[in-house]
Chains A and B, each alone.
Chain A
Amino acid sequence: MQHVEMIDLEKSYDNQKNVLNGINLAIEEGEFFVLVGPSGSGKSTLLRMIAGLEDITGGILKINDKVVNHLRPKDRNLSMVFQNYALYPHLTVEQNILFGLHAKKVEKKEQQKRLIETAEMMGLTELLKRKPKQLSGGQRQRVALARSVVSHAPLCLMDEPLSNLDAKLRAHMRIEIRRLQKKLGLTMIYVTHDQVEAMTMGDRIMVLNDGKIQQVGDPITLYNEPANLFVASFIGSPKINLGTAVIRDHHLIIEDSIHIPITTSDIGNIIQKDDLTIGIRAEHIFHGEEDKKTHELEVINVEHLGNETLLTFEIGKELWTAKWLGQWRARVGDKVPVKISVEHMSFFDSKTTELIKPASNTAKEQEVVAI
């Protein structure tokens, strides 16, 4: 069943330029749906429209197959976790959690039952009598989560709930939220600007830029077949390597500096010969063993990540990064042999930025394993 559906949704503040345009989207029940995009792309706005905190300028919003454009927030049967948690500073953790149930005049016994249940789930039992300012960031976050869980609303909206936490706690909370969502069977709409969070948590991801949907799909699809240059460079860390390219005399010429011979089987249906941009992921620039190397590139920076090494090369005016497994003792200025092949390259139209042809060889070496 489709839980939330948007048809041509639009939003403008004070009759100015639209901050959201033509949003068409259906979110399934029980799905973990992630909204990702750079700052100012309209993520919070979209979320607040779903919650009913912002008016909808145009289009139709349906929840449970009913049009809800006109409904007030409390009639939409959802819960929301705000970016800054929005805890009531003058109330204790317990009062904070029970605020909504109290407002809806839920029976006292039921309130206590849910409180105990939720506090246990979130590990807040010890903290119920404290005020928010006596809690750490992670604990506040859990109170905010508890407040939305305790309402038993089937739809949960979260606006960058982890942005204030340190890296370790964030990684931990990612798993907690994900587990909770599965356990309770919630439909989750989760806003983040962090693509790692999006990739690791989402069943499906929607990439938003400048108020327009760039692509909707599952994380692997977004990574392997980005619909345009924006998605390609937004998803993935380190960033995908891009370079302008032309095809001449059965050669692909990238940034006027790399020449790669190609055959028709390599480029398939590409008829366009000019204004191409190619993208290749860092893990697809391999170390070239003696007989297999295609190019020699000068290292201009080395980053050791422990089990991986990032090497940066200068290609024309672009900087490319290669990610090699293991620890490589390369030094700046060294010439290292690499293997770059067309089968790992995605082709984009430089003018429209749209994808022409995804990398033909991702599945083989990347090993997307179905378990």
Chain B
Amino acid sequence: MSDLLIEAEKDYTGEFLKAKKVQRTKSFLKGVLFLLPSIILFSVFLFYPLFKTIYLSFFLTDSSGATTVFVGMNNFKAIFTSPLFLKSLEVTFLFVLYTVPGTVIVSLFLAVLANEKLRGIGIFRTIFSSTMGISVAAASVFWMFLFHPTIGWLNQILELFGVEAIGWLTDPDWALISVSLSTIWMNVGFTFLILLGGLQSIDSYLYESADIDGASYFYKLRRITIPMLSPTLFFVITVSFINAFQTFGQVDMLTRGGPQNETNVIVYSIYQEAFMNYQHGAASAQAIILFVIILLLTLVQFKLGERKVHYQ
């Protein structure tokens, strides 16, 4: 009798497992079905090019990009001994160093200002975020006029104060700073908007409570605003970081990597290598290195950020 019972139970568990398995397969298939469009898109436009790039980086190519000779790691070796590439690496890091803190600090400042409840603040919010709607090309043309050595406003203003004119885009000491300046200006719109959104989602009760406690403006900024904004700040920093590493448009428009390769950031160097020198293999190797750098730095950021960022 008892044996029978146990047997019956065993049977049931088996059937349960089977039913569960069927259900799991079903939901897995459903999930895949939902993911299919993005899987296809990613495969075509992301994974395929990625693997193709890795593949190419081990070869020499002809001018059309077809592989000719397998050279193994030679492309990478050549790159790391090339002073040109090391220079562009240095330039890129400097560029990131200038633009990321610059963008975040300026937009944070503007966002804090624009978050005040004042009459007509909407106008300022629109102005501050408006650079988001301007294309890199248009913005570059606009800055080209500002930077113009003789008729540019910047030099005219300097002249007004009796300062010698600066070759903004032609002086090797200034070119990278000028490009960084225009990049900060272009990125501020987007960053500002995100930060303002973050600020507005902070509960006003917290500030009221702090008011009653007698906290000063800067105390509130330091103890409430910045910590509560930290997830948004983290997001904005990560995105700006990746963007800065991938900058191309304004360099191409403003300086073409010059003067003396002072603004030859990696992406521009890749472009030159591939489409001017037709060295697709070497260009691919550079692209892989850029990818690895961004990946590693982003991972480091996440590791560091985890401890500092406060999520609700």
Name the CB-closest residue of B to A54. Answer: B208
At the interface, yes or no: A333 with Cβ under 8 Å from chain B? no
CB within 8 A of A74: which of B213, B228, B312?
Answer: B213
At the interface, yes or no: B97 with Cβ under 8 Å from chain A? no
Binary CB contact string for chain A from 61 to 89 against chain B (1 if under 8 A, 0 otherwise)? 00000000000111000111010101011
The complex places the Cα of A99 from the Cα of B208 at a distance, in Å, of 13
At the interface, yes or no: A115 with Cβ under 8 Å from chain B? no
At the interface, yes or no: B209 with Cβ under 8 Å from chain A? yes
The complex places the Cα of A88 from the Cα of B208 at a distance, in Å, of 12
Name the CB-closest residue of B to A157. Answer: B212
Known: A103-B216, A103-B219. A86 touches B206 (CB 8 A): yes
CB within 8 A of B213: which of A53, A84, A91, A104?
Answer: A104
Known: A84-B205, A86-B203, A103-B219. A51 touches B212 (CB 8 A): yes
Binary CB contact string for chain A from 89 to 104 against chain B (1 if under 8 A, 0 otherwise)? 1110000000110011
At the interface, yes or no: A151 with Cβ under 8 Å from chain B? yes
The complex places the Cα of A83 from the Cα of B230 at a distance, in Å, of 26
Least distance between B202 CB and chain A CB atoms (Å) = 10
Binary CB contact string for chain A from 121 to 154 against chain B (1 if under 8 A, 0 otherwise)? 0000000000001000000000000010001000
At the interface, yes or no: B295 with Cβ under 8 Å from chain A? no
Name the CB-closest residue of A to B227. Answer: A90
Q: Is the CB of A88 within 8 A of B211?
A: no
The complex places the Cα of A164 from the Cα of B106 at a distance, in Å, of 41
Residues of A within 8 A of B213 (CB): 74, 99-100, 103-104, 151
Q: Is the CB of A103 within 8 A of B215?
A: yes
Q: Which residues of B116-172 are within 8 A (CB) of A?
A: none
Residues of B within 8 A of A80 (CB): 209, 212
Binary CB contact string for chain B from 205 to 240 against chain A (1 if under 8 A, 0 otherwise)? 110111111111001000110011010000000000
Known: A88-B224, A90-B227. A53 touches B206 (CB 8 A): no
At the interface, yes or no: B310 with Cβ under 8 Å from chain A? yes
Residues of B within 8 A of A91 (CB): 223, 227
How many A-B contacts are there with CB distance less than 8 Å? 63
Q: Is the CB of B224 within 8 A of A100?
A: no
The complex places the Cα of A147 from the Cα of B209 at a distance, in Å, of 10
The complex places the Cα of A248 from the Cα of B312 at a distance, in Å, of 68
Least distance between A68 CB and chain B CB atoms (Å) = 13
Q: Is the CB of B219 within 8 A of A82?
A: no
Q: Is the CB of A104 within 8 A of B224?
A: no
Q: Is the CB of B208 within 8 A of A103?
A: no
The complex places the Cα of A276 from the Cα of B215 at a distance, in Å, of 56
Q: Which residues of A33-78 are within 8 A (CB) of B?
A: 51-53, 72-74, 78
The complex places the Cα of A103 from the Cα of B207 at a distance, in Å, of 13
Residues of B within 8 A of A51 (CB): 208, 212
Residues of A within 8 A of B228 (CB): 89-90
Least distance between B221 CB and chain A CB atoms (Å) = 12
Q: Is the CB of A100 within 8 A of B215?
A: yes
Least distance between B128 CB and chain A CB atoms (Å) = 26
The complex places the Cα of A147 from the Cα of B214 at a distance, in Å, of 13
Name the CB-closest residue of B to A85. Answer: B205
Residues of B within 8 A of A104 (CB): 213-214
Least distance between A322 CB and chain B CB atoms (Å) = 45
Least distance between B67 CB and chain A CB atoms (Å) = 54
Q: Which residues of B263-312 are within 8 A (CB) of A?
A: 310, 312
User: Which of B203, B206, B209, B214 counts the most A-chain CB atoms under 10 A from its CB?
Assistant: B209
Least distance between B139 CB and chain A CB atoms (Å) = 37
The complex places the Cα of A56 from the Cα of B213 at a distance, in Å, of 20
Q: Is the CB of B310 within 8 A of A73?
A: no
The complex places the Cα of A100 from the Cα of B224 at a distance, in Å, of 12
The complex places the Cα of A281 from the Cα of B10 at a distance, in Å, of 67
Q: Is the CB of A100 within 8 A of B214?
A: yes
Residues of B within 8 A of A100 (CB): 212-215
Name the CB-closest residue of A to B215. Answer: A103
Residues of B within 8 A of A89 (CB): 228, 310, 312
Known: A84-B205, A86-B206. A73 touches B223 (CB 8 A): no
The complex places the Cα of A80 from the Cα of B213 at a distance, in Å, of 9
The complex places the Cα of A53 from the Cα of B210 at a distance, in Å, of 11
Least distance between A155 CB and chain B CB atoms (Å) = 11
CB within 8 A of B211: which of A72, A84, A133, A147?
Answer: A72
Residues of A within 8 A of B310 (CB): 89-90
The complex places the Cα of A91 from the Cα of B215 at a distance, in Å, of 15
The complex places the Cα of A79 from the Cα of B213 at a distance, in Å, of 7
Binary CB contact string for chain B from 13 to 31 against chain A (1 if under 8 A, 0 otherwise)? 0000000000000000000
Q: Which residues of A182-219 are within 8 A (CB) of B?
A: none
Q: Is the CB of B209 within 8 A of A86?
A: yes
Residues of B within 8 A of A72 (CB): 211
Least distance between B27 CB and chain A CB atoms (Å) = 32
The complex places the Cα of A195 from the Cα of B312 at a distance, in Å, of 35
Least distance between A191 CB and chain B CB atoms (Å) = 15
Residues of A within 8 A of B214 (CB): 73-74, 100, 103-104
Q: Can you spell out 15 A-B residue pairs with CB atoms less than 8 angstroms apart? A: A73-B211, A73-B212, A74-B211, A78-B212, A82-B208, A84-B205, A86-B208, A88-B223, A88-B224, A90-B230, A99-B213, A100-B213, A100-B214, A104-B213, A104-B214
Q: What 6 A-B pairs come out closest when comparing CB atoms?
A: A100-B213, A74-B214, A86-B205, A103-B215, A90-B310, A86-B209
Residues on B close to A: CB < 8 A?
203, 205-206, 208-216, 219, 223-224, 227-228, 230, 310, 312
6 new A-B pairs (CB below 8 Å) besides A72-B211, A91-B227? Answer: A53-B212, A74-B211, A74-B213, A84-B205, A86-B203, A103-B215
